[in-house]
């Protein structure tokens, strides 16, 4: 049986105090000792409710389902109970992990404007439902750390001028030059708010309902440490740091990836390594790949030129990665979309070939779709602008939308594509065709073979169509990919003889089960991109210590492609997709791969 990696080592008290003290000094300077004392008191308060036993990290069995708490409803039971039933009856043993998107009371953005961090939205269920789900799989929970809802008690405190929320937010003179600030949205950065002290303008990176928190106030940091520990106590195994790149603000900079932000992520990592070793940290940073990689904590890149040239910019004090265990592979969704709609794998192969070896104890979180749109910033430097424009135009033809962001010069530019990944595969640049299901499944199968841990969005598993009615109801473009399935309706589609939902669900379920038993898909198994023509994409995983290696080969086009891959000529290969039988196809099939087909071949 394949096994997980060794247990993650617990951090000793002395090592923790050294790491935490260093991080707090980077953030709070002379207040370091005061904040460290308060932090250790807080940790001691939670100590009895935490499991200090080190847990294993990951293995080839790790596969994560991404879903909202109410993506499945039946009108009778709490949605979290419906989800639990669906996992038990339809997906038992398929996924090792479950990412339930924010399940707290919220006011907007489908959960990402949190009102109460320590409560479960009663429309979804209760904490006992969350704990039951966490007992069956590794639970990923969002720590929505950058901002909070205007309906929160903290914001009520701010308006009234009372503690603790009075100093939790960032007031800014509206005349301040903030043109350098990196924006993920086109909404105003500063929001006017009427308070007892008159009108104040508050920093709001994402929307007027999502007010950014002031981490220059250590009370805010300690508040979130307490929330983090509470989630771990409720069964969270993976903590997702939402929108973490924008955490720290400093006028005169881009206010993204600032050194203090990295220091706070490293502090949270140190806390988890100390009190709950084996609890994993994942950073959500929808940015170009080089910036994303910095969240592993190795030579963190400066936020901008001013930081790079400053003598005050802190340098990494260790060669060991000490930030996130996992980072989202944000480049993959748009680049794979470009690949399969253009029929050319050259850019995908070049990018995959350029990926550096993963640092020890780190891995990628691979995905093609999520609750958000398909970010296009990650394509910067990988595709020429005209290729990106062609992709955006095509997605519009397939029923999608494009969300914009504001640039430093005041202009707007594309930020993400809003479309379901199934409908994004409706055709090629020539238009819609009959290959949608096969093209879509090729995209998912390719993602599953890449080095890292795969995350599969529920609406990919069910081949969900664009939800234009949801967009009309909510007024939000992202609702196009946030459909609410009535469980009875979904069951009928899965059980029907010939529906895209049935084909996608059964095919992906089978492929996931095969993947979970193949040791070459361990997140730490090496990856090498093979030389092929533009119509194929091929990687080798392994060899492992045992000598076992796997070839994953994909025809990413709607044309038959010659299998001109040198590795296939070396020895005998066995087809893991056909119960490990010797790969001995018809001579023509040995030389030709049909459109959107894939091979997983191993040499034991």
242 is catalytic: yes
Q: Omega of the bond prior to 543 within 30 degrees of 0, cis?
A: yes
Cα of first residue to Cα of last residue in the chain, in angstroms, is 14
> Which residue in the list 70, 242, 322, 344 is annotated as catalytic?
242
Task: State the DSSP code for 316.
Answer: P
| Greatest alpha-carbon span in the chain | 81
CA atoms 71, 76, 81, 84: torsion sign: negative
**DSSP three-state, residue 510:** helix
Tokens 């238009």 found at: 431
Unique residue bearing structure tokens 């086109």: 186
CA 112-220-67 angle, to 5 degrees, is 20
Which residues are within 8 A (CB) of 583 and not within 5 positions of it... i.e. 6 or more apart? Answer: 572, 573, 574, 575, 599, 601
Residue showing tokens 């033809």:
397
Angle between helices 32-46 and 259-275 (to 10 degrees): 30
Q: Write the CA distances from 26 to 30, 247, 315, 316, integer angstroms.
A: 10, 15, 10, 11
Q: What is the DSSP letter of 12?
A: P
**Token pair of 231 as six digits:** 């989630």
Rounded to an integer, what distance in angstroms lies between the CA atom of residue 604 and that of residue 95?
Answer: 25
Q: Are 534 and 577 in contact (CB under 8 A)?
A: no
242 within 8 A of 146, measured Cβ to Cβ:
yes
Half-sphere exposure of 17 (CA within 13 A, CB side): 9
In 3-state terms, what secondary structure has residue 142?
strand
Rounded-to-integer distance, Cα 266 and Cα 255, Å: 18
Beta strands in 520-582, from DSSP E residues, in sequence order? 527-529, 536-541, 549-555, 561-562, 574-575, 581-582
DSSP sequence for 548-564: -EEEEEEE-SSS-EE--
Is 583 in a helix, a strand, or coil? coil
Range 563-587 burial, b when 16+ CB lie within 10 A, else e: bebebbeeeebbbbeeeeeebeeee
Q: Among 281, 271, 219, which Cα is nearest to 46's?
A: 271
Q: Report residue 550 as tokens.
A: 């796997």
The tokens describing 422, both together, are 């199934």
- What dihedral angle (degrees, nearest 10) is formed by the CA atoms of 476, 478, 483, 484? -60
Q: Are 459 and 502 in contact (CB under 8 A)?
A: no
Q: 20-59 b/e with 16+ CB inside 10 Å = b?
A: bbbbbbbbbeeebeebbebbeebbeebeeebeeebeebbb
Helices (H), 13-104: 13-28, 32-46, 79-90
Which residues have a catalytic role annotated?
Answer: 242
């Amino acid at each position: 049986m394949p096994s997980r990696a060794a247990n993650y080592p617990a951090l000793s008290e002395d090592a923790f105090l050294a790491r935490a003290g260093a991080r707090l000094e980077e953030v709070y300077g002379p207040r370091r000792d005061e904040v460290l004392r308060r932090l250790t008191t807080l940790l001691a308060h939670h100590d009895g409710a935490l499991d200090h036993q080190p847990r294993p990290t990951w293995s080839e069995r790790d596969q994560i389902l991404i879903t909202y708490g109410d993506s499945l409803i039946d009108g009778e039971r709490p949605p979290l109970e419906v989800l639990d039933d669906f996992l038990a009856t339809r997906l038992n043993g398929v996924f090792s992990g479950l990412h339930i998107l924010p399940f707290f009371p919220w006011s907007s953005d489908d959960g990402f404007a949190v009102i109460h961090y320590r409560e479960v939205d009663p429309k979804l269920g209760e904490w006992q439902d969350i704990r039951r789900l966490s007992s069956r799989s590794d639970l990923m929970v969002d720590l929505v750390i950058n901002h909070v809802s205007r309906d929160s008690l903290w914001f009520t405190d701010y308006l009234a001028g009372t503690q603790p929320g009075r100093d939790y937010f960032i007031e800014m003179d509206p005349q301040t030059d903030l043109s350098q600030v990196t924006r993920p949205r086109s909404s105003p950065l500063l929001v006017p708010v009427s308070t007892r002290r008159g009108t104040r303008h508050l920093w709001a990176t994402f929307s007027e309902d999502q007010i950014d928190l002031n981490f220059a106030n250590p009370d805010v940091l300690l508040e979130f440490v307490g929330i983090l520990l509470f989630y771990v106590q409720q069964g969270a195994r993976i903590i997702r740091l939402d929108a973490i790149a924008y955490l720290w603000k400093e006028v005169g900079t881009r206010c993204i990836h600032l050194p203090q932000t990295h220091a706070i992520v490293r502090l949270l990592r140190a806390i988890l390594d100390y009190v709950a070793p084996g609890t994993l940290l994942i950073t959500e940073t929808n940015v170009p790949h080089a910036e994303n990689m910095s969240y592993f904590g190795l030579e963190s890149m400066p936020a901008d030129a001013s930081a790079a040239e400053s003598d005050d910019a802190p340098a990494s004090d260790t060669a060991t990665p000490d930030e996130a265990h996992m980072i989202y592979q944000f480049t993959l969704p748009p680049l794979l979309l470009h690949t399969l709609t253009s029929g050319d794998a050259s850019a995908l192969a070049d990018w995959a070939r350029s990926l550096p070896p993963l640092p020890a104890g780190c891995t990628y979180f691979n995905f093609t779709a999520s609750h958000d749109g398909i970010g296009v910033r990650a394509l910067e430097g990988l595709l020429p602008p005209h290729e990106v424009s062609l992709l955006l135009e095509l997605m519009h033809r397939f029923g999608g939308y494009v969300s914009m962001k504001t640039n430093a010069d005041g202009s707007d530019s594309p930020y993400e594509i809003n479309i379901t990944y199934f409908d994004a595969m409706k055709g090629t640049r020539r238009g819609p065709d009959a290959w949608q299901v096969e093209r879509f499944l090729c995209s998912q199968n390719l993602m599953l073979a890449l080095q890292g841990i795969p995350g599969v969005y529920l609406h990919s598993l069910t081949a969900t169509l664009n939800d234009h009615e949801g967009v009309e109801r909510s007024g939000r473009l992202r609702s196009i990919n946030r459909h609410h399935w009535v469980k009875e309706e979904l069951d009928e589609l899965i059980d029907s003889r010939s529906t895209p939902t049935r084909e996608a669900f059964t095919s992906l379920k089978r492929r996931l089960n095969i993947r979970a038993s193949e040791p070459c898909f361990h997140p730490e198994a090496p990856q090498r991109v093979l030389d092929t023509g533009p119509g194929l994409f091929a990687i080798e995983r392994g060899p492992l210590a045992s000598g076992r290696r796997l070839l994953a080969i994909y025809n990413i086009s709607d044309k038959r492609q010659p299998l001109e891959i040198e590795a296939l000529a070396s020895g005998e290969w066995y087809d893991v997709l056909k119960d490990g039988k010797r790969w001995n196809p018809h001579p023509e099939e040995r030389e030709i791969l049909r459109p959107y087909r894939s091979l997983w071949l191993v040499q034991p």
